[in-house]
């Protein structure tokens, strides 16, 4: 067993770290306050091979694998998780195309995203149903050579800035719920597609989030990914990879909380001693560090397994579940260790506290992850 990163991965980690420190730091506050999306950063990141790095070289990516992409995600999220999301989630919709799309779809959609020219989105959640997939209503009905799509999607990352989205639609309503869905590629400029930015998020405010309305949106049947009725199963495999990226976001944010807290407790004194001299402070740092170490193991191992053709869906769900918990836990302690200063915007910890919560909500809430893990453990 070798826990050492390869030289390539070490270089990638270093490059992503430097990129985030150089490009994100000065924009972080403004983007958070003004809910500003950062297309220029995404383009620069693409020039450095950091967008869709998991995509193999033949489709324009860096071929860094899922572990490489997780490491990039970790380093970007360590500086600013929202801006980092703008970089890594540009390829969010691409995962389904890569796994299940035709050669033609892969060649058409993946390279422009890798080059930073286009952005994808994954449009699954609906206003009246997120966790409960059986409640989804968006329909795609065959008409001639086309699908005509009607319905609403909610909370879609990159919704107003994407060039195309992968939308989950009901194509086979007569089938049982899991066999009724299909994934369909919808170009964002399709007539009948309306996109409304959702403002006022608690955290990751530089990331774009939108409601999307389909009103008789017509796309050719060649936009179907894989076979009709396979959408639900495809989505489960899709999340089993993208969840690793969410856990990598959590890892980066948690590491930032710990590093910043260590620095602070060495500098700040109370009762004639640095905060770090108190055992209660040491307990907080210790608990943060142990959780981070355990999380890194889950993230790297689940990513490594995907890269070696042995994805472990339970492990990826565990990484996502534990990642959200760890990020929220560490952000909470970081604010506490900073005292009153942790509660004002002079320090980043208040932002990380706000940013962290989404990690327990999107791509499956923590409750949904518990249900998934609990079911999978019994089906082994
Ligand atoms: C910033 C942001 C970005 C997002 N990006 C995307 C995106 O790019 N694409 C996309 O498709 N979606 C996206 N989402 C949507 C996100 O995945 C959903 O919000 C999430 O899955 C929860 O769905 P919901 O909001 O409908 O909550 P609900 O499903 O209504 O759940 C509400 C609460 O009930 C709990 N609950 C539900 N069912 C059960 C049960 N059986 N047992 C116990 N508890 C239960 C949930 O865990 C949760 O705590 C995003 C959301 C946000 C906020």
Active-site residue identified among 287, 363, 367, 369? 363
Report domain extents, the chain: 7-114, 120-228, 232-379
pTM of the model as a whole: 0.97
358 lines ligand 1 (CB under 6 A): yes
Q: What is the pLDDT of residues 329-339, one digit of tens each?
A: 999 999 999 99
Tell me the C-alpha distance between 65 and 70, whole Å.
9
Over residues 235-260, mean pLDDT = 95
Q: How far is CA 273 from CA 174, 268, 334, in A?
A: 70, 8, 19
Pocket test for ligand 1, best of 125, 135, 358, 372 (most atoms within 8 A of CB): 125
The CATH homologous superfamily of the domain defined by 232-379: Butyryl-CoA Dehydrogenase, subunit A, domain 3 (1.20.140.10)
Binning pLDDT at 50, 70 and 90, where does residue 380 land?
A: confident
Q: Are 92 and 119 in contact (CB under 8 A)?
A: no
47 is catalytic: no
CATH 1.20.1250.20 fits 120-228, yes or no: no
Overall size of the chain counted in residues: 380
Q: What are the strands, taking DSSP E only, across the chain?
A: 120-123, 139-143, 146-157, 164-170, 181-187, 193-197, 209-220, 224-225, 269-270, 273-274
pLDDT of residue 109: 98
Q: Which of 325, 307, 174 is nearest to 247 (CA)?
A: 325
pLDDT single digits (tens) 265-295? 999 999 999 999 999 999 999 999 999 999 9
Confidence band for 97, pLDDT divided at 50, 70 and 90: very high
Tell the residue nearest (CA) to atom 44 of ligand 1.
367
pLDDT value at residue 210? 98
The β-bridge partners of 22 are: none
Q: Give me the pLDDT at residue 1, please.
A: 86
| Parallel/antiparallel/unpaired status of strands 120-123 and 164-170 | parallel
Choose which residue among 121, 122, 130, 320 to substitute to test ligand 1 binding: the one with the highest number of ligand atoms within 8 A of its C-beta: 130
Cα separation, 233 vs 247, in Å, equals: 21
pLDDT grade for 258, boundaries at 50, 70 and 90:
very high
CA distance linking residue 259 with residue 347, whole number of Å: 13
* Ligand 1 neighbour 128 (Cβ under 6 A): no
| pLDDT tens-digit series, residues 204-226 | 999 999 999 999 999 999 999 99
* DSSP class per residue in 54-82: TS-GGGTS---HHHHHHHHHHHHHHH-HH
pLDDT band at 177 (very low <50, low <70, confident <90, very high): confident
Which fold is adopted by the domain 7-114? Butyryl-Coa Dehydrogenase, subunit A; domain 1 (1.10.540)
Cα separation of 131 and 369, whole Å?
Answer: 10
pLDDT digits (tens, 9 = 90+) for 34-59: 999 999 999 999 999 999 999 999 99
**Residue 366 alpha carbon, nearest atom of ligand 1:** 47
**Minimum CA distance residue for ligand 1 atom 7:** 156
Q: What is the mean pLDDT of residues 372-379?
A: 93
- Which burial class, exposed, middle or buried, applies to 341 when counting CB atoms under 10 A from its CB (0-12, 13-18, 19+)? middle
Average the pLDDT over 133-154 and give the result.
96
Q: Is the CB of 269 under 6 A from ligand 1?
A: no
User: Residue with the nearest Cα to atom 50 of ligand 1?
Assistant: 155
Write down the pLDDT at residue 240. Answer: 84
Residue whose C-alpha is closest to residue 193's, from 214, 166, 219, 162:
214
């Amino acid at each position: 067993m070798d826990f050492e990163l390869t030289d390539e991965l070490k270089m990638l980690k270093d490059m992503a770290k430097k990129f985030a420190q150089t490009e994100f730091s000065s924009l972080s506050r403004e983007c958070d306050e003004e809910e500003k999306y950062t297309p220029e950063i995404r383009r620069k990141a693409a020039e450095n091979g950091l967008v869709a790095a998991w995509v193999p070289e033949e489709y324009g990516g860096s071929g860094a694998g899922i572990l490489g992409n997780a490491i990039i995600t970790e380093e970007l999220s360590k500086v600013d998780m929202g801006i980092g999301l703008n970089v890594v989630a540009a390829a969010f919709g691409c995962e389904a195309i890569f796994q299940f799309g035709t050669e033609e779809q892969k060649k058409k959609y993946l390279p422009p995203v890798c080059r930073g020219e286009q952005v994808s989105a994954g449009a699954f959640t609906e206003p009246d149903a997120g966790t409960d997939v059986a409640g989804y209503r968006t329909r795609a009905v065959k008409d001639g050579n086309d699908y005509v799509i009607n319905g609403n999607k909610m909370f879609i990352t990159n919704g107003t800035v994407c060039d195309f989205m992968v939308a989950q639609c009901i194509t086979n309503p007569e089938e049982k719920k899991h066999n009724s869905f299909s994934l369909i590629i919808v170009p964002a400029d399709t007539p009948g597609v309306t996109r409304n930015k959702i403002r006022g998020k608690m955290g990751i405010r530089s990331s774009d989030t939108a409601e999307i309305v389909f009103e008789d949106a017509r796309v050719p049947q060649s936009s179907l990914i894989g076979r009709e009725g396979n959408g639900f199963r495809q989505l489960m495999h899709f999340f089993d990879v993208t969840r690793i990226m969410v856990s990598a976001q959590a890892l980066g944010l948690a590491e930032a909380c710990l590093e910043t807290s260590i620095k602070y407790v060495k500098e700040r004194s109370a009762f004639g001693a640095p905060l770090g001299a108190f055992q209660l402070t040491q307990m907080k740092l210790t608990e943060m560090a142990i959780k981070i170490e355990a999380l890194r193991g889950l993230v790297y191992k689940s990513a490594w397994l995907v890269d070696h053709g042995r994805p472990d869906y339970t492990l990826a769900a565990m990484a996502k579940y534990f990642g959200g918990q760890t990020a929220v836990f560490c952000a909470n302690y970081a604010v506490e260790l900073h005292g009153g200063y942790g509660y004002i915007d002079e320090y980043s910890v208040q932002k990380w506290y706000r940013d962290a919560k989404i990690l327990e909500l999107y791509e499956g809430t923590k409750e949904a992850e518990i249900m998934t893990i609990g079911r999978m453990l019994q089906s082994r």
